[in-house]
Amino acid sequence: MGRLIAFNSISLDGYFVDAHGDMRWAHNAALDDEWDEFVADNASGGGLLVFGRITYELMASYWPTPAAMENDPVVAERMNNRPKLVFSRTLSEAPWNRTRLVKGHLVEEIRSQKGEPGNDMAILGSGSIISQLAPELLIDEYQVVVIPVVLGAGRTMFEGIREKLSLELTESRDFANGNVFLRYEPVG
């Protein structure tokens, strides 16, 4: 059974998207070879990528492009070739390579996927998916990168969660560009 991992970059004030729903602020302009290596290694898994519609459209508009292949060929190749699952009530198709569109039943579909043998699954972005799956205790690990920027407004990746979710820090790592990686697992 694969584990379900939620991965998000957040601002210092706790937002994973800004007030306009944009995530471009998360791309730190400071050069850091160690950070670049970490990102490439983290993208190397062969598991299923899980998206909501908004994150899917954002990722699908960039990773299959020549610009992505030029700017970050290792991550682009991995993003384009991994299997993807997008949850949307409004999309009629999901043309990005190796993508399956699911129109509903998020919790049931993820439970089913977790019951299948295979690699880990990763939720990228997709705060609405995280807020639906976290209370169901379906997320096995939270990976958070704190980016040294304050946005002032936006959405948190746990927006909509009404009950306490206790987490245990299992790893932390800081980088020269100011980013801090944190890995948490649910307690209990």
pLDDT tens sequence across 97-136:
999 999 988 999 999 998 888 788 999 888 889 999 999 9
11 three-state secondary structure: strand
Q: What is the pLDDT of residues 12-53, one digit of tens each?
A: 999 999 999 888 888 766 778 888 888 777 766 668 999 999
Distance CA 180, CA 137 (A): 25
Q: Which CATH architecture has domain 4-186?
A: 3-Layer(aba) Sandwich (3.40)
Q: Phi, psi (5° rounding) for residue 132?
A: -85, -35
For residue 163, the 8-state DSSP code is S
Task: Look at the pTM and tell me if it is higher than 0.75.
Answer: yes
Q: How far is the C-alpha of 100 from the C-alpha of 93, rounded, in Å?
A: 9
Query: Which of helix, strand or coil describes residue 79?
Result: helix
Q: Is 87 helix (H, G, I), strand (E, B) or coil?
A: strand
